[in-house]
Structure 1
Amino acid sequence: MSLDLTTQQQANQETKTATHLQGWTGPALFRQSDLKGSEVDVFLPGLWGALHVVCINTFVLHTLQNKGSGRRVELRDFTRSLGSQLVVDPPVSVPVLPRLHSSYQDGPFTDATNQSFSETSCSPVVKNEKSVKNQPGVCGLDNSGNSCYLNAVFQCLCSTVPLVEYLLQPDTRKQISRCKCRVAEVFVRLLEQMWLGRAARCAPLEARSVLCSVLPQFNNHLQQDAQELLMYCINALHDDLKKVSRHQLGREQRRAGLRSDSTVVSRLFEGRLSGVTLCLHCDHQAHSAQPFTILSLPIPTDLISCSIQDCLSLFFQQSVLSGGVLCSECGLRRETAVVTYLDKPPEILILHLKRFGCKGRSQVKLKTNVEFSTETLDLSPFLSSSALSSDCSSYRLYAVVNHIGHLHMGHYTALSYNTVTQTWHCFDDSVVRPVEGVLVQSPHAYILLYSRKPFHKPQIQGL
């Protein structure tokens, strides 16, 4: 076959190249003049050039495989999904991508090992799921550059019904605007899009911009820790809403010097731990209390599988400080036992599984399958005597943040229960899929969110 192309063949080649480049929003591989046969004057060097070529070539193969099916896939979405898979599973030589649109009705694609791709990207996917469109609180979030950790956290907060109800009340919105609460204000606008908007997806660019201005450590396009962001988000919302709480105090209360730092955030997310230190020489006890919003649970090492109760038991187990603590009764440093109890369980319980840590001298990600149920979490073995009498030991799961991948690179997704549709959904950035509740548990679980009271259908004006 001759390598020389006729004029007609060149024109066809230009058309094919332009077609494959449709939807491309990243840096250009070639200038327009390159398609007309002139000398290449701009080409991305090294890794970026190779990556873009691989993306386009794989896209061509994917298009040819689906020729005649009537499906149309934008190169931009194709490249994003390809990049996600390469991060999750670098050894895959020829990636086969998952569904890029919810209109795909056939089963999930499989890779070379004949395993469902959904097992690595969003494990609890239901086959033959219906398209998710225009359902309140079910809204995908566009990835603006390594922002999957941010999107996963936003989805969990969006599914926290008591918080959403409070923030979307007309009076609350007016107070937030009047008090110039920047973080709360943009978060309210995002919630309006996700709960009251008509689109199946949106871009949280404004929320990310304001959040990064308040929290500069997230002002980059690096992959960050979702647990750390969730903690900072809760604190930032609490600090903003304290302005509203103070503004709502009456004049007489302000004159009397009364101040309230209580907000809907602290009422929902804040709990209290009580600690008891026991001198093993004289049995003297000392008590302390510590508030918390997230409990970081250790995972038993060298186990393939364990339960969430095992992690809780490990967190609350008695420990002995062999180095000794100064005993106020003995006046000497004595060996001391420390016991921790849950003294005030919060309305919303957030459990963080400590998957990232050290094994010997190496930093690793623990891939232990921590088993949990969506039905009931019993905290009674870990409550103090005063908390046991309050009948607040049972919790129900309503959201999960998953981390897929390795220590230094990976991908975050979220699962949450929607009280309007009464269905679990998986949120993989802008892609939303319904899931069966029995499939929510997976070895990728990183953050678990529980509610002490069952959520009802949100009372939101305009819903």
Structure 2
Amino acid sequence: MGAAGSKLEKALGDQFPEGERYFGLENFGNTCYCNSVLQALYFCVPFREQLLQYYTSTKSPSDADENLLTCLADLFSQICSQKKKTGVIAPKRFVQRVKKENELFRSYMHQDAHEFLNFLLNELVEILEKESRATKSSPETSSSEKSVNGPINGLANGTKIEPLVTWVHKNFQGILTNETRCLRCETVTARDETFLDLSLDIEQNSSITSCLKNFSSTETLNAEDKFFCDKCCSLQEAQKRMKIKKPPHILVIHLKRFKYIEQLSRYKKLSYRVVFPLELKLSNTMEDADSEYTLFAVVVHVGSGPNHGHYVSLVKSHNHWLFFDDENVEMVDESAMQTFFGSSQEYTSNTDHGYILFYESVSTIGTS
């Protein structure tokens, strides 16, 4: 990528951020799903900083200790310690580890970037929790920290044990409240659940704001869907809604672009036009106040169907937008984002659509 790299350096000129590195990632035969997500995570600055901090604080692991977390930390460390400002890195060790850990990613078939992101974050959480349990090896601690995400009700020496919160949780985890109101006695039953990303149903000519509004809209449970009310001790009509109780620092939104069509007996890609803003407010979905977010990365699916295609990513770094397509990196204008909203026509030649959106809470943004 010599020519492309020098072109990028030329385009940025004196504005090239000090200490920053813009490296493409080599594709090992259909690993664009992995490369696009890795770029989005690398430019998620709080996550990158904590991962690198983890890397420097842990001793160099032996091959026996190697896992997905150490491979990811090693890859990020390699990128940021390059002498050159631009170039290409081969994430071979990381990709090999992914394939070793999950047979789903072993074939050369087209994979889903959202499935990969989900797998990766959950795997990192699991590794960090195991390490934390190993360092607190007292019998009470290890037995009471077995839950991954949910609240822990166990008691040790009469004290309630809080759920283990890793730095991955601190970045990506939010809390949803599922509220159900019995229409007979008006009793509200609330159940909290954690999430690392939000998957949203999409509609034609809509926006992220309207998708979030639909996500939190009230649904009536009646007929065969009646709710068993503990107070009434019987099935009753009820109203149900989902709200965000605690928003995450990094809000990851997955657009459900692949829908199963029963008549066709297969999945179809929805090329719907869904506008995603550069600045997002969570108002209708929130329990209390608004939360403000700014867009910093988009994973784009290129192609007309779910079983083939390509993934690229756009990331914001130091007020510049960059386009990453495996080995190639180039600067793009902020206005280029609109080309990835989707199409208002059912049949279109444009198949490049925003698929996973990464927003950072305005309150957490520092110099990044």
Q: Place the TM-score, normalised by the shorter chain, in its bin.
A: 0.7 to 0.9
Partner amino acid for 1:193?
A: Q
Aligned with 1:426 (options 315, 323, 327): 323
- Name the residue aligned to 2:108: 221
When Rg is computed on C-alpha atoms for both structures, the one with the higher figure is 1
**Against the structure 1 CA distance between its residues 170 and 215, is the aligned structure 2 distance closer, same or farther, given a 3 Å change threshold?**
closer
Given that 2:257 and 2:270 are in contact with CA atoms closer than 8 Å, whether structure 1 keeps it comes out as yes
2: CA distance, partners of 1:382 / 1:170: 34
Inter-CA distance 347–181: structure 2 relative to 1 (3 Å threshold): farther
Determine if the alignment matches structure 1 residue 450 to structure 2 residue 359. Answer: yes
Question: Would the alpha carbon gap of residues 222 and 372 (structure 1) be closer, same or farther in structure 2, given more than 3 Å must change?
Answer: same
Q: Which amino acid aligns with 1:440?
A: M
Cα distance in 2, alignment partners of residues 103 and 177 from structure 1: 33
Distance 1:181 1:101, change over 3 A: same
- The answer (yes or no) to whether the contact 1:308–1:371 under 8 Å persists in 2 is yes
Whether 2:222 is the aligned partner of 1:338: answer: no
One of 305, 312, 333 as aligned partner of 1:413: 312
**Taking structure 1 as reference, are residues 216 and 360 closer, same or farther at Cα in structure 2, changes over 3 Å only?**
closer
**How far apart are the structure 2 equivalents of 1:429 and 1:270?**
28
SS state at 1:434 partner: strand
1:328 paired residue among 225, 230, 251: 230
Q: Distance in 2 between matches of 1:146 and 1:171?
A: 28
Aligned counterpart, 1:308: 208
- TM-score (norm: length of structure 2): 0.80
2:271 equivalent among 360, 367, 373: 367
Q: Deviations over 1:261-304 (max 9, x none)?
A: 2211011111110011122233222111111111000002xx2x
C-alpha change, 1:382 and 1:159, in structure 2 (3 Å) is same
1:140 and 2:49 matched: no
Q: Give the letter aligned to residue 353 of structure 1.
A: L
Give the AA of the match of 1:157.
Answer: L
SS in 2 for 1:168: helix
Mapped pair 1:399 → 2:297: yes
SS at match of 1:401: strand
Count of matched residue pairs: 328
The letter for the 2-side match of 1:227 is H
Structural mapping, 1:28-177, within 5 Å: 102=4, 136-169=20-53, 172-174=56-58, 177=61
Q: Quote how far apart the aligned CAs of 1:252 are.
A: 12
* SS of alignment partner, residue 165 of structure 2: coil
1:355 is aligned to 257
Q: Give 3-state SS (helix, strand or coil) of 1:144's partner.
A: coil
Structure 2 spans left out of the alignment, 5+ residues: 143-155, 343-352
Quote the residue 1:437 is aligned against.
334
> CA offsets, 1:25-59, max 9 Å, x none?
xxxxxxxxxxxxxxxxxxxxxxxxxxxxxxxxxxx
For 1:448 and 1:289, the matched residues in 2 are separated by 24
Per-residue CA deviation, residues 305-354 of structure 1 (Å, 9 max, x unaligned), is: 22111111111111122321222222222222111110010111000000
Kept in 2, the 8 Å contact 1:167–1:173? The answer is no
Amino acid at match of 1:145: G
Note if 1:278 corresponds to 2:181: yes
Please tell me the root mean square deviation across aligned C-alpha atoms, in Å. Answer: 3.1
Contact 2:55–2:73 (CA<8 Å) still a contact in 1?
no
State percent identity of aligned pairs. Answer: 30
Q: Which of 250, 254, 261 is residue 164 of structure 2 equivalent to?
A: 261
Structure 1 residue 438, shift from structure 2 partner: 2.7
Structure that is richer in strand per residue: 2
Q: How many Å apart are 1:232 and its aligned residue?
A: 0.6
How far is 1:176 from its partner? 7.6
